[in-house]
Structure 1
Amino acid sequence: MRTSFLFSTSFIFYALVSGSLFSEFISPNFTASYHRFIDNKGAFLFSRNGTFKVAVFNPGGKTNFYLCVIHVASGTIIWSANRDAPISSSCKMELTVQGISIAGQDANLKWATPPLRSSVHALLLTEMGNLVLLDRFNGSLWESFHYPTDTIVIGQHLPEGAILSSAVSDDDLSTGDYQLAITDSDAILQWQGQAYWKLSMDIRAYKNSNYIVEYMAINRTGLFLFGHSGSAVVIQISLSPSDFRTAQLGASGRFMIRRFSGSDREQEFLGPINDCQIPLICGKIGLCMDNKSNRTTCSCPQGFHRVSQNSSGCMPNGRSLPRACDSTSQLNPSALSYSRLGYDMDYFSIDFSEPVRYGVNLSVCQEFCTSDCSCLGIFYANSSGSCYALENDLGSIISSAADDDDDLWGYIKVIVGAASDINNTYSDQTQQFPVIALVLLPFTGLLLMVALGFLWWRRWKASNREIKLGHASSLSSGDLDAFHIPGLPQRFDYEGIEVATDNFKTQIGSGGFGAVYKGTMPDKSVVAVKKITNLGVQGKKDFCTEIAVIGSIHHVNLVKLRGFCAQGRHRLLVYEYMNRGSLDKALFDSGLVLEWQERFEIALGTARGLAYLHTGCEQKIIHCDVKPENILLHDQFQAKISDFGLSKLLSPEQSCLFTTMRGTRGYLAPEWLTNSAISEKTDIYSFGMVLLEIVSGRKNCSTRSQCHSVDNRNSGGGHSTSSSRSGVVYFPLLALEMHEQGRYMELADPRLEGRVSSEEVEKLVRIALCCVHEEPSLRPNMVSIVGMLEGCIPLGQPKVGSLNFLRFYGRRFAEASMIEQENGQSDFTLFPQANDSTTSTTSDSRICLSYISSQQISGPR
């Protein structure tokens, strides 16, 4: 959620206490420390009504200090900046035009905000508890709400793919072992990557599986997982009305919701309720027993003993435990065995995981665990032959009285013959290194070196054989043959795709790297297959980019990548089939008229997809080629964005934005010509141009023969200066002129014949003009655009001063068209480039304006 905040600079230095305590805003070149504001317990910034404060604070009065946002009435910390880099009381927080930084002793940097797109003008603490850095236009540069720690509050969204991480304790805010992850269907608690609770399990949860989860939020009436841009509830926990509540992942591993009234707090929700379901409730391999009286007791399984009187967790008698996959865990299988846990045992993650083997006997299950260094134990279901692995770390064991748990047998991997724990991470006492290890470890190391040498020799020999066969030129291609992306649905072989496409019989599109064909898979599902024929070095790079990008993200408004083929020299991408084709065909085909509501839903869906790419992914994704050809339509004209061949991934910490990419002219932002940094605001410019075409139902750059009559739509016989007199229309300029005159209905596609109101057209036109501001910083972000389309954020006001470049575009477009008509030229371009290889079938597309005449690389999918 990115918002613009209005403020008056005359109140930035409004002092509350002796000129040293600020209200709501502070300006750059400001320094704070606990000592400087010790009379206010480190607080130096308050929200407007004093609900929240920002302070350099030490929880529990300890020696570790953190920059925190705190709920004043209850003293609850809702966010901390340097949670993993605490400072002392004398260390400083500085606000500069580059952002916030926290320095420790000797001025070494402990924490800082990521690089920002423009200079900081002010720091604001909102009444919701959101700490925001503002630019000089009052636009958001950075928000604490986008970097949650262990807590969210009313007004904050936790998007799908985001997590909350517990603190170590109430006094130690460092990142703990527990996480709350938001998936596309649920909210899941995890420990060491293993799930142990889901929100949908709660008996109070209302569930609707018809939508995909987009974000979690709390409000006055409860906890919600929302889909369909907030209009659909996927999971709901109803609670009593409250003006302030928090949802927190506690240090104990429980997810809690609390409501506050003054300094009083009430716990409204807790998950999981059962103590024994918490992974480390009794320590590693500790036995948790729920005696049905809300009291949990901890002990050790039979054959195990407590590590020490002062610590939880258990150890096998006369055995030691291996660690997961480190240098000391590569033991000879003969040195490993299994200690049985006994009857009526269960493990917290089994109900949330799939077996690693099905229909096998116990010995096969154990052999699997022995060969996998990450496996530290197994649970084996005797009746079904299902084998469950306990991986990476061991949690508590659950004592279960359920009748069917006699079928579930638990075993812990142990090292045989060691009287002490060679790799024991639980004991604080120094252990004597066993004599047998002095013999086994060197011998095992020698065998390992011999085995590695043999494998290397085999691989070298195979590589030489490939070269002799004349395949040296396809080495990078061979590397791709082994290319694998975890989580990618499927890797197809070329012969199977040939069968599915009937030997590539039906072509449904083409692009810069090849053609797109329709196919039918063996499961009868219809797919679109992109066959890359012009590979080259750049093609291989973009092929890997597409797989890495599309294979790792999932959103209802993004085309789904089903799989890929990298076999020999063949490179193919297999997508879900979009049965209504691309937006350009739906908009510009005279035989089809999209109704206004369909156009609006397409615009909204496209905006949601771009918002997800820009802010919803772990890494920011800039599409760089937003145009109608790359917006595909499914049933009910659901819009999905395609073609990520030109996208770039940016981590939040990256400070240098790229400037070397190319998209499609007519949709390229002005910053391409000036060699300015290219950011997500470039996509927003392109989206604005697409939005104008959605309104008019025709290309923005078109001759009068390709567009609808402008003069007939000019009321009162007035004349536009948008080049209509020269026989051509540059629609963005016409949109600006009609906006200035308030004549929005004259911009709507006349084929709609009055089936749209002036207010509906005005909404899209104003948003579009805001998107195409010449200065990128004036363009709204995609999250704000979605909010404006949905009506929850006021419409932006286009700034005419930043749109005057459209008048230059309009004049040059008219001049180019007149020269073409007079001279009979068919390939005139305003800004010709030697490397311009763009081709088109109509003259208007060749003179369609852009600051640069770029190479059209990706093309429609």
Structure 2
Amino acid sequence: MAFLLLFLLSFVFNSANAQPRSPIIEPGSSLSPNNNSYWLSESGQFAFGFYPYGNGYSVGIWFENIPQNTVVWTFNRDDPPFTGDATLLLSTQGRLVVRPTQGQEVLIADVGNAASSASMLDSGNFVLFGSSSEIIWQSFDFPTDTILPSQRLVNNNLVSNVSETNHSSGKFLITMQLDGNLVQYPVGAVEMVFGYWNSKTYGAGNGVSLNLDSDGHLYLQNATGFNITSLNNKVAASGKPIYRATIDADGIFRLYSHSSNRSDNWFIEWSSSDNKCDPIGLCGQNSYCVSMEGEPVCQCPPRFVYIDEEHKDLGCRKNYSLVACTGRNYQTFNFSKLVDFSWKDSDSYLDVSARTENDCRSECLRDCNCDAALYNNQSCKKLKLPLRFGRRDTSSQTITLLKTGGELAGPGTGKRKLRIDILITSLALAFSTLAFLVLAAIGILKYRSRVREYRSHVQEYERILHSVNNRIAEDVALKSFTFEELKDATNNFVDEIGKGAYGTVFRGLISDGNSDGERMVAIKRLEKVVAEGERDFRNEMRAIGKTHHKNLVRLLGYCYDGTNRLLVYEYMKNGSLADFLFKSKLKINWEGRVEIILNIARGLCYLHEECETQIIHCDIKPENILMDEKGYAKIADFGLAKLLMPNQSKTYTGIRGTRGYVAPEWHRNLAITVKADVYSFGIMLFEIVCCRRSVEADVPENEQVLAHWVYDCFKANEVEKLVRNEEVSKSKLERMVKVGLWCTQDEASSRPSMKKVTLMLEGTVNIPDPPLLSSFVSSP
């Protein structure tokens, strides 16, 4: 009797806590990530819906009844995650969509006919049914990195994830080819020579499929249903295991099992390779893979260093500078040598015959385009950097010759040749300068006329814009919150999203005044503000609240409640510029970085010259530049240092700002003006251009202080060194560098205003060459 009672209690408890299961999903059904809802298969094995990913949620399929909740399929894996206010919906029109609160809905299943219902099947396949109960769409037809039992891979690919936690498309794929061969390749190099594993079924014909049985048997089957090869032996059933076959982030295809008789971890039943260095492309450019204690390690050739010490798989860069090659000074170069390494030799731009290694070396030495050469069996392949797909290969018998810098050969001979080259270059430069002056003299009158016309348009535009902004500011009022309201909005300040010089920032939800819904906001709890009365604090808040510009983070409200002072800002979902520049593996392209620099310049110009009360920021740095959902850069924390009111002294007490960004006048106890922000902007401009911090210790000594290195490169006419391995117009790069050098002049009076900086960046006005560091000249 006791046993029966215990059984009934257990049944009631489990029933009360189980997620409602709906094998058939009717039109009108919806899911939301906020209430953690999803659609389960009938047995509860698989779930379809939103799962937490990054800073939001993705739509996918995962194993629900095992602790890891392993994801096996993701919709639009390379798109940004959805926000918590999105809705997954099978609409009454029979369309499966994700509907955000703002913006256009995203279609998941692109089918011609409307779906009459949907279902999450026990096989792990999410399907849409037509009016006759036929399947009109299924997730099995659009695999990501995994196949499941009863799923077939035909004329399709599986692509690895970037990592276990990053589900974006990674470096490797496995494809079922039309010729019947199952092959693994690096993404972007699907060529026979780069296949690093295959099923050896070439010629089996079209229609061959990769299959996984429920008993863990992984095999290939032809179009007639005949099993042409088995990739593994059948697995002995124990504890009703479940199986999946996944191409992992390291490029190896593995069969996994999970059994209640074993631990909670997945167990590897079979893998395409036991050597983790086998996947071609595991290591980035100019690097190669070496196996150490069974684990892959990416290493650099001699005189190369890692691009990023913390992410060695990103590759290597040269740790030396070559003298300019002229075709006559080839004696100045040496070579580093590697034996038994293979690279992507199809990148060679010229193949020549060479009887010996020395012949190959000489061929590359005399060719200014040649950065490296591969010698093997009287064949010499000339290549340019970067080298790709490097790995140790003792069977290749290839000798790699890397061209590096060296000493001049012979006493005085090389120097004499070098001087002749310098003379020729100087004469050519003088002739070019003369021609330029003639053309400039012809066009200068037209140019001045256009500038005058442009300035009159600008002045009229600014007058209208200023009037409009004033009217808008008068109509917009900040909301005053109580401390308890903001405590509830942040769930007692538990969701911390950042910490800065003035306090800690928390994510929160406040009621949306225009609807019955809620709005996500960023709430800054001030910790280091100068004590002032409530009236002064509210005056400052009103002044900040009147600043409205598309490149400023908007202040929505504030709290002054006893000792508690908080600010409520619009929420910026994409984090700070520092995250994009210094932490993300994905580098912002040149055009994107230029646009970000312009966004920041326009925002600072508004603070300094166009808003009602002039504001000096005092802490311009990438951490205080936030990115919105459209990729626009917005300035945060403005007005918190101290408002520069018309009747105030221009001298601030104590150094404000962040080391590496503060202007020299802070250290000299001089008057602080808007030019202090101009200096910080210049330092940050260099960081955005070069995608690195202003001060770094793990780089060559002459590059450690970024501003000094930029100056040296500009002085030597070698600005291209600042953007290694990136195709950027030298003239555009020089324009950016010159603006930054003007902004970082030692004397504040020599720095341009932010309005002038913006015009220079836009190309509206000419930019004179900045002076030498020891010079003192008037502002441009």
State the TM bucket, normalised to the shorter chain. 0.3 to 0.5
Give the TM-score of the pair, scaled to structure 1.
0.40
Which structure has the higher relative contact order (CA within 8 Å, separation 6+)? 1
